Amino acid sequence: MPSERQITIFDTTLRDGEQSPGASMNIAEKMEVAQALVDLGVDIIEAGFPIASPGDFEAVRTISQNIRGAVICGLARSSDADIDRAWEALQYAERARIHVFLATSAIHREFKLKMDKDEIIRRAVNSVRRAVGYCPDVEFSPEDASRTEVDFLCRVVEAAIDAGATTVNIPDTVGYGTPAHIGNVIRTLRERVPNIDRAVISIHCHNDLGLAVANSLAAVENGAGQIECTINGIGERAGNCALEEVVMALRTRHDHYGCTTRIVTPRLVPTSRLVANITGIQVQRNKAIVGRNAFAHEAGIHQDGMLKERRTYEIMKPEDVGLAKTDLVLGKHSGRAALSDRAVALGYHLSAEQLQTVFDEFKRLADKKKEVYDADIAALIEQEIREAPETWVIAGYRLIAEMGQVPTVTLSLKRGDEEATEQVTLGDGPFDALFHAVERITGVEVVCRDFNVHSVTVGKDALAEVTVEVAHEGQIYRGRGVSTDSVQASVQAFLSAINHVAAHLERSVKPPAPQVGSKA
Ligand SMILES: [Zn+2]
């Protein structure tokens, strides 16, 4: 192996990541993430699964039309309709990739596909050929590869490369692999597949055993040239290989791996925060690289060592992953240019119109609160970009609450020119009463599954950030509200979840593809 290889980073936050429960994003949010991924320096963005739903199709098409600087990839099952639909969305991309997958393990062949080995090979070859007819960059994934008999895996991979696949991806779909096992699979492919040098070997690991990053690194050690991963490791079940972890492992242990990536590592923390804010899936404090405590040295003995020489306890510098040493504080005298600068530094790309709205909100906030921190600004921007048009907004509320008494709430909501007011006297507390009032006005009833209030920054005047998770007809929706008034933030959060439900109900032209369940 040459001593210095560049590993291709294939990000699937918008496809595999978005599949994790409650992580669904609207098109505007996906565009924000896609742009942030380009800034981060990922090579390939898997933008979605076009045939899965009209929303997925729109997202892939919009990203293909507007995002430049990375290859845009769309997922397709091994069927003509899927591949055609994928290309329909991808055709506008500066550089496009079609990613075709087909399950190859015995259990999938027998129970899911009901196909024998020869049929699988035929199907794979036909699909890859069809995709190659559209674009030269084609990736093929034998789904559940890690549980596929290795002889058969070699046959499938060889046939796919012969048919024109330029990348062969090895998914550990169920998170079953261990480092030695995955490393062995990759090495075997390199040794036994005669045409393997005509394609890049890719690795796609799930984290069911907490081994996704370790398995991906083992694959790289054995010759894989592409890693599929997601920001914060989000994804189905226990998630996918975390981009920030695998990239920093390669960088920090360059002495061992001898590999580089194109990732601009100081963008890691801003991108992580963006994805956490957009999906509502917060990162645990002790999460490697991007967790709040990842660089906190609390133990006295460590602090003493740190003061004398940082390297005594630190293998990476916080600034290398984009953890700013000091929050730049803005105040009421800060201008639009300063705000715009901070927005860019935080990873956002606002239109002039959005910047104006955020600036107005910022001025209002700066009046109430002396110091405005990065997290406050991020919260305001999220609020702005998350709002879908034509949704309910709060016009006003009045709340009478007393310990031991049933609360009374008068709530007014507006949608366009329409305004509605409800008064309710019920509920277990003021929030419950407010949520009932929202349901009555909007006509959308949900089950509240999670309700979280926390302060965005420090101090008594800090912004309250409220996140709620609601269930509606088996689907999970999240909402988020931010205000210095925690009651208002709560109503906003609940309302934004309801708005997502309403938007979904409006869009609910039933998707064409039925069994889209398991995917690479
Ligand atoms: Zn996956």
The C-alpha atoms of residue 207 and residue 214 are separated, in whole angstroms, by 10
Expressed in angstroms and rounded, the spacing between residue 225 Cα and the centre of ligand 1 is 18
The C-alpha atoms of residue 388 and residue 513 are separated, in whole angstroms, by 26
Report the pLDDT averaged over residues 466-476.
86
Lowest mean pLDDT among 56-70, 79-93, 109-123, 240-254: 109-123
- Flag whether pLDDT at 512 surpasses 50: no
CA proximity to 465, closest of 396, 357, 376: 376
Higher-confidence residue of 503 and 487: namely 487
pTM as predicted: 0.79
Expressed in angstroms and rounded, the spacing between residue 73 Cα and the centre of ligand 1 is 14
Q: Which of 182-186, 441-445, 460-464 has the highest mean pLDDT?
A: 182-186
Expressed in angstroms and rounded, the spacing between residue 183 Cα and the centre of ligand 1 is 18
- What is the tens place of the pLDDT at every residue in 207-239? 999 999 999 999 999 999 999 999 999 999 999
Contact assessment for residue 100 and residue 77, using Cβ atoms and an 8 Å cutoff: yes
Expressed in angstroms and rounded, the spacing between residue 501 Cα and the centre of ligand 1 is 26
Expressed in angstroms and rounded, the spacing between residue 519 Cα and the centre of ligand 1 is 6
pLDDT at 369: 78
pLDDT at 231: 98
Expressed in angstroms and rounded, the spacing between residue 515 Cα and the centre of ligand 1 is 16
CB contact set of 506 (below 8 Å; sequence gap of 6+): none
Expressed in angstroms and rounded, the spacing between residue 205 Cα and the centre of ligand 1 is 7
- Residues 292, 294, 295, CA angle at the centre, nearest 5°? 100
H/E/C letters for each residue in 459-480? CCCCCEEEEEEEEECCEEEEEE
Helices (H), 136-284: 150-162, 179-192, 212-221, 243-252, 254-257, 268-279
Expressed in angstroms and rounded, the spacing between residue 184 Cα and the centre of ligand 1 is 20
Q: CA dist 99 to 140, 142, 173, Å?
A: 6, 11, 15
Expressed in angstroms and rounded, the spacing between residue 304 Cα and the centre of ligand 1 is 43
pLDDT at 445: 93
- What is the tens place of the pLDDT at every residue in 75-117? 999 999 999 999 999 999 999 999 999 999 988 888 888 889 9
Expressed in angstroms and rounded, the spacing between residue 229 Cα and the centre of ligand 1 is 9
The C-alpha atoms of residue 292 and residue 454 are separated, in whole angstroms, by 15
Expressed in angstroms and rounded, the spacing between residue 97 Cα and the centre of ligand 1 is 17
- What is the tens place of the pLDDT at every residue in 342-393? 888 777 878 888 899 999 989 988 888 777 887 788 888 877 776 555 588 8
Expressed in angstroms and rounded, the spacing between residue 21 Cα and the centre of ligand 1 is 14
pLDDT at 516: 47
- Flag whether pLDDT at 519 surpasses 60: no
Expressed in angstroms and rounded, the spacing between residue 384 Cα and the centre of ligand 1 is 31
Expressed in angstroms and rounded, the spacing between residue 241 Cα and the centre of ligand 1 is 9
- What is the tens place of the pLDDT at every residue in 146-173? 999 999 999 999 999 999 999 999 999 9
pLDDT at 513: 44
pLDDT at 511: 43
Expressed in angstroms and rounded, the spacing between residue 8 Cα and the centre of ligand 1 is 17
Expressed in angstroms and rounded, the spacing between residue 16 Cα and the centre of ligand 1 is 5
One-letter amino acid for residue 247 of the chain? V
